[in-house]
Chains A and B, each alone.
Chain A
Amino acid sequence: MTSRVGVRPVLLVVGVCALLALLCLASLAFGASGLSFGQAMGGLLGSPQSRQVENVVWSVRVPRTAIGLIAGAALGLSGNLMQALTRNPLADPGLLGVSSGASFAIVLSIAVLGLRTLYGYIWFAFAGALVASVLVYLLGRLGRAGLTPVKLALAGVAVTSLLSSITSAFVLTDPDALDRFRFWSAGSLASADGDLAARILPFVAAGAVLAMAAAPALNSLALGEDVAASLGRRLGLVRLQSVVAVMLLTGGAVAVIGPVVFVGLVVPHLARILTQSAGIGPDHRWLMPLSAALAPCLLLAADIVGRLVAEPLEIQAGVLVAFVGGPVFLALVRRRRLAEL
């Protein structure tokens, strides 16, 4: 990166940061309680406001926005990492069953062990994410032709449907669990409280550091496993590092906002398009931070729209993301030729 950095990359960074800041402000300003923008900003900046305004802003909207930022960044990084590691444009923590592994483990820990707190079950979320991602990866590698996108996607569907049928069995026999589970499983930021954001932050931060550190090795891996190995990359180490990062990022995000599909799929593609147009090319040292910044934009935008369109009800962010992300997935499938997949 010592070579010249032109104007366009700078513009890109500034633009993405501005967009993210704008969405954060919008997420703080809009919502069901109908504060004016001025009131919300006043409450945020500490100018004298009614007790109620301060309460809404600080105990509802700030945590919600923070969760959107953290979980979004986690899903974006995790998606980019998985796409790079599997060299598969269709990889996503939701599509490949990692999220359902985490949510299965969480439901299990709640239903069987009676755990109620995030610190109680987040370890189960990590374990579930780890087991599911390794399982899907191994399943996708089985057979003679190695890892192909179709096999990987099918393995993800298979693991997801297996885990979700067992999850349903637990949830169906316990009406109270069902009541909590159904909101969480649609992928919502609404249940966020202040503590939650602070608690998952260390895990997500650790995952993000690992992901960033893997970027140069993933650049070599993009040239093929043999080339990467002959460039001196230790493939086993890179894989281990990436899988641990995926586990921390996905497990952390799922524990808080539920299994959200398609964020990790769409965002890396968007990041690649942007780096291309900025003249940088698909360099993971750029793609990782870009994904981490763009994914919260998508999640926050979906959350804001979901709060506003169906007032007084809310549409969960995960549902809206799927309605945006699904068509992107379909477009990718239609555009790519078999050889390119």
Chain B
Amino acid sequence: MSLHTEPRIPHFRLAVPPVSGVLRPRTVAVSAVLAVLAFLVLSWDVTVGDYPIGLTDVMRALAGAGDPGTLVVVRELRLPRAVVALLVGVAFGVSGALLQTMTRNPLASPDMIGLTQGAGTAVTASIVLGWGGGPLGIQGVGLAGAALTALVVYVLAWRRGTTGYRIILVGIGVSWICTSATDYLVARGGRFQAQEALGWLVGDLNGRDWSAAVPLAAAMTVLLPVALLLGRLMRTLQLGDEVATGVGTRVQSVRLALLAAAVGLVAFGTAAAGPIAFVALAAPQIAQRLAGAAWPPLVASGLTGAVVVLFADVVARTLIAGVELPVGVVTGVLGAPVLIWLLARAYRADSEG
């Protein structure tokens, strides 16, 4: 294994018990810029619609001022959708960063290892077979599907421990089985159920209101801090299982906890908006390049995810006048070049799978 010797990057230690860590100014600055950018794109997203509202009016309405009509449109109709987009983006970005770091493979994302497909099968089943009503029902079903798939992947990849590459291949196999089951359910269901299910499977933000945003926000207030705390332990995993064990990391339990956090985030995100293609894959890689880091930084990955989803939503609604494309179609097309680039340069000789 060739160790990558980095040039000295300026950093300072944060050591206020019980939290300690290394903060790099560049990562912090990139995160701040991304946060501002996310807010701007969110405002832009709110301006788009049948009844155009200027950017300044949107800003004013977000702050609670402006005329009552605009306030209602912004707060009740457009803001929930934008907030769901933001939260889903953050969830996918962080989840992707966790999985990519854990498996030491930039191509391991929830789309690739079957989590979103598992959630998709469960939700399609609930739509076609008529289980569970209301958005909370769908969220619960999607969560259960993703969690179950993750469990199956983890158990099947287990053979005297798991390795990153085996999780990926097992995940690909499981995701194909799930895709076939989904195809069957879509073919079996009625015409309108099929349309609803397929719309959800592409990843769609149309008509999301606060009832979709609230459970997602609640879940993320729990899962994000867990993910950030685990992020520290995760870094030793990147050195390889033997080295990580050598420096005192309990490899299997950390990996299980990471998987649980990543699954939770992606499951709640998928339940709210469907599996929006490539966000979990691309966002961490973009954030990593922006921050010039050796691994995807969690906060910046989440913010990049938010910017990507919000921007894709704006494109999806303005690209063809009068047609609201599902946001997943836009991210699917935008994500392809990123993916090709990743495949081109992802594999160093020592991380070969």
Contacts and interface: CB of A to CB of B under 8 A. Distances in A.
A, B: real partners: yes
A267 to B, nearest CB: 16
A165 B326 CA distance: 10
Interface string B337-353: 00110011111110011
Interface stretch (A9-17, A289-297, A314-322): A314-322
Nearest to A154: B107
Interface stretch (A29-37, A61-69, A140-148, A235-243): A140-148
B293 interface: no
B343 to A, nearest CB: 5
Contact of A162 (B177, B339, B353): B339
Q: How would you classify the secondary structure of chain A's contact residues: helix, strand, loop or mixed?
A: helix
A153 B169 contact: yes
B131 interface: no
A151 B165 CA distance: 10
B contacts with A: majority SS = helix
A192 interface: no
B344 A143 contact: yes
Contacts of B328: 165, 168
B199 interface: yes
Nearest to B181: A319
Interface stretch (B91-99, B184-192, B225-233, B300-308): B184-192
Given A166-B333, A319-B181, A330 B174 contact: yes
Contact of A178 (B157, B175, B198, B343): B198
Contacts of A321: 180
A59 B346 CA distance: 53
A118 interface: no
Nearest to B203: A165
A172 B323 contact: no
B261 interface: no
A169 B175 CA distance: 21
Contacts of B336: 158, 162
Interface in B127-183: 156-157, 159, 163, 165-166, 168-170, 172-177, 179-181, 183
Contact of A334 (B170, B195, B201, B335): B170
Interface residues of B, number: 56
B277 A178 contact: no
Nearest to B328: A165
A187 B188 CA distance: 13
A326 interface: yes
A157 B112 CA distance: 7
Classify chain A: how many residues form its interface, as a range. Answer: 35 or more
Contacts of A126: none
A215 B339 CA distance: 34
Interface string A154-172: 1101100110011011011
Given A148-B353, A165-B328, A329-B173, A316 B202 contact: no
B260 interface: no
Interface string A304-341: 00000000010110110111001001100110001000
Contacts of A121: none
A338 B165 contact: yes
Contact of B186 (A186, A262, A313): A186
A169 B112 contact: no
A139 B343 contact: yes
B214 interface: no
Given A316-B187, A319-B184, A261 B326 contact: no
Interface string B240-281: 000000000000000000000000000000000000011000
B332 A262 contact: no
A153 B343 CA distance: 11
A168 B195 CA distance: 10
B232 to A, nearest CB: 28
Nearest to B186: A182
A175 interface: yes
B326 A333 contact: no
B347 A318 contact: no
A256 interface: no
B30 interface: no
Contacts of A145: 347, 349, 352
B45 interface: no
A105 B111 CA distance: 23
A183 to B, nearest CB: 5
A172 B168 contact: no
Contact of A144 (B112, B187, B323, B347): B347
Contacts of B347: 143-145, 148, 151
Contacts of A183: 187
A179 B201 contact: no
Contacts of A158: 107, 112, 336, 339-340, 343
A334 B166 contact: yes
Contacts of B199: 172
Contacts of B177: 322-323, 326
A172 B202 contact: yes
A169 B187 contact: no
A78 to B, nearest CB: 17
B73 interface: no
29 contacts: A90-B169, A95-B172, A143-B345, A144-B349, A145-B347, A148-B353, A150-B353, A151-B343, A153-B172, A154-B112, A155-B343, A166-B332, A168-B328, A172-B198, A173-B323, A182-B183, A186-B184, A186-B187, A187-B183, A261-B180, A315-B184, A316-B183, A318-B180, A319-B180, A322-B177, A326-B176, A326-B177, A334-B156, A334-B170
Query: What 6 A-B pairs are tightest by C-beta distance, nearest first?
Result: A165-B332, A322-B180, A150-B353, A326-B177, A186-B183, A143-B347
Interface of B: 107, 111-112, 156-157, 159, 163, 165-166, 168-170, 172-177, 179-181, 183-184, 186-188, 191, 194-195, 198-199, 201-202, 277-278, 323, 325-326, 328-329, 331-333, 335-336, 339-340, 343-349, 352-353
Interface of A: 90, 94-95, 139-140, 142-145, 148-151, 153-155, 157-158, 161-162, 165-166, 168-169, 171-173, 175, 178-179, 182-183, 185-188, 261-262, 313, 315-316, 318-319, 321-323, 326, 329-330, 333-334, 338
